[in-house]
């Protein structure tokens, strides 16, 4: 199933206009959110948590904000043309890596275990119960 998402992502990255997109991060994000909604949220299950562990901070952000933080320009608001392009490229790269990771057996359990380990390693986690995920 994730191979299909990867193939679609590649097609959208190569020809965004053919898919009704203008090539910006805003439309790429809207497209991905629509795909995820069409799968009742299962396509991106674990994506935000996977990104938090990669970024090693900001577990209170949405995945689009995390992607922008992981882009080469980092968080820039409003997006410059260059930062927008970098964010789109970063989104496609991260989705490809995430879908590759999700193809492995028990990948989702591993993603959430890594996220839980990350959470409990934070200094502020001492006040939370050990089985609590925010």
Q: 16, exposed or middle or buried, with CB in 10 Å at 0-12, 13-18, 19+?
A: middle
**pTM of the predicted model as reported, rounded to 2 decimal places:** 0.86
Is-cis flag, bond preceding 88, omega within 30? no
Q: How far apart are CA 88 and CA 75, in angstroms?
A: 13
Can you give the pLDDT of all 134 residues of the chain as single tens digits?
677 888 888 888 899 999 999 999 999 999 999 999 999 999 999 999 999 999 999 899 999 999 999 999 999 999 999 999 999 999 999 999 999 999 999 999 999 999 999 999 988 766 555 555 55
- Over the stretch 72-104, which tens digit does the pLDDT of each residue have? 999 999 999 999 999 999 999 999 999 999 999
Q: Please state, rounded to an integer, the average pLDDT across all residues of the chain.
A: 90
Report how far apart, in Å, the C-alpha atoms of 45 and of each of 37, 56, 75, 89, 111 are.
11, 19, 24, 21, 10
């Amino acid at each position: 199933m994730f191979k299909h998402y990867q193939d679609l992502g590649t097609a959208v990255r190569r020809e965004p206009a053919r898919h009704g997109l203008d090539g910006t991060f805003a439309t790429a994000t809207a497209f991905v959110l629509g795909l995820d909604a069409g799968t009742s949220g299962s396509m991106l299950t674990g994506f935000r948590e996977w990104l938090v562990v990669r970024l090693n901070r900001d577990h209170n952000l949405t995945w689009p904000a995390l992607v922008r933080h992981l882009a080469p320009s980092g968080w820039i608001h409003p997006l410059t043309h260059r930062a927008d392009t970098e964010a789109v490229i970063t989104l496609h790269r991260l989705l490809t890596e995430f879908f590759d990771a999700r193809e492995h057996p028990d990948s989702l359990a591993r993603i959430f275990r890594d996220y839980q380990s990350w959470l409990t390693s934070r200094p502020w986690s001492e006040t939370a119960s050990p089985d609590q995920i925010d």
